[in-house]
């Protein structure tokens, strides 16, 4: 299968154009906006940032009769631990994103787009600015795109360091110059989003898939992957494997194939213990569960986890699950925006309990308290950050309880392997 997103020799505008780039934009501008959206709907493309919501459907939620400005926002605030696909995509194929955004802007009737990129990606932001400049000079972006009469301005906006801004409404708050605290929904951004106007927010990978879909058709895209998880996905694999990195593969690829064939198996004969299949916020799978699962939205849901952002974090037998959960709890506690009590307090409690267990000062009751604190956070907050803490916490305790109990009894299982 040929890659759609991660290609060689398309990093520059010349290379991208020579490979057929911006052909889809010309085609889209000759179509009715509603037909462009219909094509994306037909492709089955789903949001690649984590939620997996159908992209075309999201576009169609912009009210038809909405007056005034509309906005398109690209979420390039890549921050889910384990995720590094958007960075790679931006570096290797920036014009797929730019072209995808102009097409999406035409489809939803937006004349302004923003690429919200995490602040730490300084080199990537500079690269985007440079490529945008080149695209503007060729008439692909800006006033009267390709002589069509359609105006579309695109701006790069850098974040300033906050995981929560990857949540779409927090991102909008941040883009407006506020603290990144998520908004209560409804109203949804499609009705009342950026600056109070109808807004579509899509992930980098989602938007970058749009040119190929318009060029070759929704049916072509839908022919890849599985019936409900269409197309290709960028899987970012980190942890002790021989070849960590970003792999573009059709959805539904067996985890075993990703690990053994593409990543060259476990490093130095290490033994697989567990996998976080979609980023640190998704429920953990045991080695046996992972080796039996296919990587798509449905199969991972059926296995009790999620595809998330496609960040496959590999954990080997030498790692201590209590320690790893402590690392995650410190992170979620640090990143909670603080507006919802269950999240602000819950993440802190969980971190404290884990600190106690890790220090060998915990008890068996702490394990139950940890589990019930996580359970009490689930679904009770404005945004999913609390769930993102609760899901790994509950699954770690459920599937690796023995390690937690060993800590409560004063023994640590690793990473050195022995008891303390």
Partner 1 sequence: MPLRLTDDFKAKAARVCAAYPRKDAALIPLLQELQREKGYVAEEAMDALAAFLELPYARVKAVVTFYTMFNRAPVGKYHLQVCRNISCHMAGAPGLLARLREKLGISEGETTRDGLFTLSSVECLGACGSAPVLQVNEHYFEKMDERTLDALLDDMRHGRLRAADF
CB of 149 to partner 1, least distance (A): 22
User: How far is 188 from 184, CA to CA, in rounded Å?
Assistant: 8
* CB nearer to partner 1: pick between 258 and 337: 337
DSSP conformation class of 184:
P
Collapsed DSSP state (helix, strand, coil) of residue 363: coil
User: How far is 101 from 235, CA to CA, in rounded Å?
Assistant: 22
Two tokens at 98?
Answer: 């730019």
CB of 295 to partner 1, least distance (A): 17
Please identify which residue in 10, 13, 175, 353 interacts with partner 1, judged by CB under 8 A.
Answer: 175
User: How far is 112 from 153, CA to CA, in rounded Å?
Assistant: 5
Helices and strands in the chain, H and E counts: 19, 11
If one asks whether residue 138 binds partner 1 (CB under 8 A), the answer comes out as no
What is the distance, to the nearest Å, from the Cα of residue 215 to the centroid of all Cα atoms in its chain?
Answer: 25
Please identify which residue in 72, 162, 306, 321 interacts with partner 1, judged by CB under 8 A.
Answer: 162
Nearest to residue 351, comparing CAs of 390, 379, 381? 390
If one asks whether residue 276 binds partner 1 (CB under 8 A), the answer comes out as yes
Please identify which residue in 119, 139, 265, 304 interacts with partner 1, judged by CB under 8 A.
Answer: 119
Please identify which residue in 161, 187, 264, 402 interacts with partner 1, judged by CB under 8 A.
Answer: 161
CB of 177 to partner 1, least distance (A): 4
* Subset of residues 331 to 350 that bind partner 1, contact rule: CB under 8 A: 331, 334-335, 337
Nearest to residue 300, comparing CAs of 378, 226, 201, 237? 226
What is the distance, to the nearest Å, from the Cα of residue 333 to the centroid of all Cα atoms in its chain?
Answer: 20
* CB nearer to partner 1: pick between 63 and 196: 196
CB of 78 to partner 1, least distance (A): 5
User: How far is 345 from 337, CA to CA, in rounded Å?
Assistant: 11
> Which DSSP helix (H) or strand (E) runs through 74?
strand 71-76
If one asks whether residue 133 binds partner 1 (CB under 8 A), the answer comes out as no
If one asks whether residue 240 binds partner 1 (CB under 8 A), the answer comes out as yes
Asked if residues 306 and 265 have their Cβ atoms less than 8 Å apart, the reply is no
User: How far is 319 from 123, CA to CA, in rounded Å?
Assistant: 33
**What is the number of other CB atoms lying within 10 angstroms of the CB of residue 83?**
25
Please identify which residue in 39, 80, 99, 366 interacts with partner 1, judged by CB under 8 A.
Answer: 80
If one asks whether residue 174 binds partner 1 (CB under 8 A), the answer comes out as yes
Please identify which residue in 245, 254, 265, 348 interacts with partner 1, judged by CB under 8 A.
Answer: 245
* CB nearer to partner 1: pick between 8 and 176: 176
* Subset of residues 183 to 212 that bind partner 1, contact rule: CB under 8 A: 195
If one asks whether residue 313 binds partner 1 (CB under 8 A), the answer comes out as yes
If one asks whether residue 180 binds partner 1 (CB under 8 A), the answer comes out as yes
CB of 347 to partner 1, least distance (A): 13
If one asks whether residue 69 binds partner 1 (CB under 8 A), the answer comes out as yes
If one asks whether residue 86 binds partner 1 (CB under 8 A), the answer comes out as yes
**What is the number of other CB atoms lying within 10 angstroms of the CB of residue 20?**
13
* CB nearer to partner 1: pick between 202 and 280: 280
If one asks whether residue 4 binds partner 1 (CB under 8 A), the answer comes out as no
What is the distance, to the nearest Å, from the Cα of residue 151 to the centroid of all Cα atoms in its chain?
Answer: 29
User: How far is 354 from 20, CA to CA, in rounded Å?
Assistant: 53
If one asks whether residue 301 binds partner 1 (CB under 8 A), the answer comes out as no
* CB nearer to partner 1: pick between 107 and 156: 156
* CB nearer to partner 1: pick between 40 and 272: 272
| Alpha-carbon distances, residue 188 vs 61, 117, 181, 198 (angstroms) | 9, 22, 15, 9
Contacts with 330 (C-beta within 8 Å, 6 or more apart), sequence order: 351
Give residue for tokens 């302004």. 112
If one asks whether residue 329 binds partner 1 (CB under 8 A), the answer comes out as no
Give residue for tokens 């995808």. 100
What is the distance, to the nearest Å, from the Cα of residue 60 to the centroid of all Cα atoms in its chain?
Answer: 21
If one asks whether residue 179 binds partner 1 (CB under 8 A), the answer comes out as yes
Q: With CB under 8 A, what is the number of residues at the site for partner 1?
A: 55
CB of 365 to partner 1, least distance (A): 27
User: How far is 368 from 342, CA to CA, in rounded Å?
Assistant: 17
Segment near partner 1 (CB under 8 A); pick from 28-36, 177-185, 199-207, 289-297: 177-185
If one asks whether residue 163 binds partner 1 (CB under 8 A), the answer comes out as yes
Please identify which residue in 311, 321, 343, 388 interacts with partner 1, judged by CB under 8 A.
Answer: 311
Q: Which residues bind partner 1 (CB under 8 A)?
A: 69, 78-84, 86-87, 118-123, 155, 157-163, 174-180, 195, 236-240, 244-246, 276, 280, 311, 313, 315-316, 319, 324, 327-328, 330-331, 334-335, 337
């Amino acid at each position: 299968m040929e890659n759609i997103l991660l290609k060689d020799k398309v990093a520059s505008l010349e290379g991208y154009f020579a490979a057929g780039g911006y052909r889809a934009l010309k085609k889209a501008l000759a179509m009715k906006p509603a037909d462009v959206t219909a094509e994306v709907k037909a492709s089955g493309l789903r949001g690649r940032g984590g939620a997996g919501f159908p992209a075309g459907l999201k576009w169609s939620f912009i009210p038809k009769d909405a007056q005034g400005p509309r906005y398109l926002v690209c979420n390039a605030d890549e921050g889910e631990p384990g995720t590094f696909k958007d960075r790679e995509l931006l570096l290797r194929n920036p014009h797929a994103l730019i072209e995808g955004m102009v097409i999406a802007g035409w489809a939803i009737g937006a004349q302004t787009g923003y690429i919200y990129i995490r602040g730490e990606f300084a080199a990537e932001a500079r690269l985007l600015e440079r490529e945008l400049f080149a695209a503007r000079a060729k008439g692909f972006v800006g006033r009267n795109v390709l002589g069509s009469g359609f105006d579309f301005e695109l701006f790069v906006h850098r974040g300033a360091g906050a995981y929560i801004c990857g949540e779409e409404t927090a991102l909008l708050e941040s883009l407006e110059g506020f603290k990144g605290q998520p908004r209560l929904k409804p109203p949804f951004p499609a009705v009342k989003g950026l600056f109070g106007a109808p807004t579509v927010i899509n992930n980098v990978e989602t938007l970058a898939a749009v040119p190929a879909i318009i060029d070759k058709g929704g049916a072509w895209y839908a022919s890849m992957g599985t019936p409900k998880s269409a197309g290709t996905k960028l899987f970012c694999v980190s942890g002790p494997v021989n070849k960590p990195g970003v792999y573009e593969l059709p959805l539904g690829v067996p985890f075993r194939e990703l690990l053994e064939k593409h990543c060259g198996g476990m490093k130095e004969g290490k033994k697989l213990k567990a996998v976080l299949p979609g980023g640190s916020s998704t429920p953990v799978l045991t080695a046996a569960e992972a080796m039996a699962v296919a990587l798509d939205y449905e199969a991972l849901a059926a296995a009790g986890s999620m595809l998330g952002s496609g960040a496959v974090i590999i954990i080997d037998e030498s790692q201590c699950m209590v320690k790893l959960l402590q690392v995650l709890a410190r992170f979620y506690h640090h990143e909670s925006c603080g507006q919802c009590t269950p999240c602000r307090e819950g993440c802190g409690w969980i971190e404290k309990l884990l600190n106690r267990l890790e220090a060998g000062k915990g008890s068996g009751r702490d394990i139950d308290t940890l589990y019930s604190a996580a359970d009490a956070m689930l679904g009770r907050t404005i945004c999913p950050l609390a769930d993102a803490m609760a899901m790994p916490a509950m699954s770690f305790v459920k599937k690796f309880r023995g390690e937690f109990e060993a800590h409560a009894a004063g023994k640590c299982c690793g990473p050195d392997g022995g008891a303390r």
